[in-house]
Amino acid sequence: MPIVDRQINWKDGRVYFPIKLFQGLDNNGTADISLSQGTPTVEPDATGEVVVLPMTTADEIAHITIIPWNLNRDKKVLGKIHFVHASTDADTPQFTFTIKFYSKQEGLAEFISGADASTAFAAHTCSTTTNSLESTVWTDISFDDYVTATDVYMAFSIELNALGSASADECKLLGFEMAYEIQACDNNRRQTSEMVLQEQPV
């Protein structure tokens, strides 16, 4: 028997933005440097054989991308920040996430001062294992409160707001992950013949 899909929890979508692909980076002929405040510099992490972005207080990196085509704009969108912690102390760094939406042909601007939303992520307690892989808790980034039906692009920045006892450059950004509910179809009253279960992001 068919069921109405507005009563179904649809699957989550995920997208990950690695630091090396952030469009807020510029190469000065020697290294990739953030164009945002603090101008942190991408460097290799010799232990993990990957590139990271060491940060200190108020360092920031920005990116702009297309809003995922299948993202349900009426539902909450969650964010998670991934980084390497190069210390054996249980430091508690705290990040701030800022986002701005653009429609087609809208003028690109310095978006931090005119951002649509700024979200303070909870301070994260790091492992005492050196070079530990860390990630913040999933956090509502106020996406659905500001995005409109005509918006095409989303610009965002990540700032290390507080070191939480860490030393400068001990928190090395790896990337940003976003989880969202997939927009199953344009008409949420369309009937379907099977149920799709949803699992919470982990």
DSSP string, 125-172: PPPSSTTEEEEPPPEE--HHHH--TTEEEEEEEEEEEE-TTPPTT-EE
Burial 27-60 (b: 16+ CB within 10 A, else e): eeeeebbbebeeebbbeeeeeeeebbbbbebebb
- Can you tell me the mean pLDDT for 117-129? 96
Residue 199 has pLDDT above 60, yes or no: no
- Whether pTM exceeds 0.75: yes
Residue 66 has pLDDT above 60, yes or no: yes
Q: What is the pLDDT of residues 78-111, one digit of tens each?
A: 999 999 999 999 999 999 999 999 999 998 887 6
- Using CA atoms, how far residue 172 sits from 43, 47, 62, 93, 189, in Å, is 9, 13, 15, 11, 46
Residue type, 153: Y
User: 30 φ, ψ to 5°?
Assistant: -120, -40
Q: What is the pLDDT of residues 4-63, one digit of tens each?
A: 555 555 688 999 999 999 999 999 888 999 999 999 999 998 788 899 999 999 999 999
Residue type, 199: E
Residue 197 has pLDDT above 60, yes or no: no
Q: The tokens 């969650």 sit on which residue?
A: 78
Token pair, residue 37, equals: 């405040």
Is 38 in a helix, a strand, or coil? Answer: coil
CB 70 within 8 A of CB 159: no
CB 155 within 8 A of CB 111: yes
Domains in the chain with CATH codes:
13-185 (2.60.120.260)
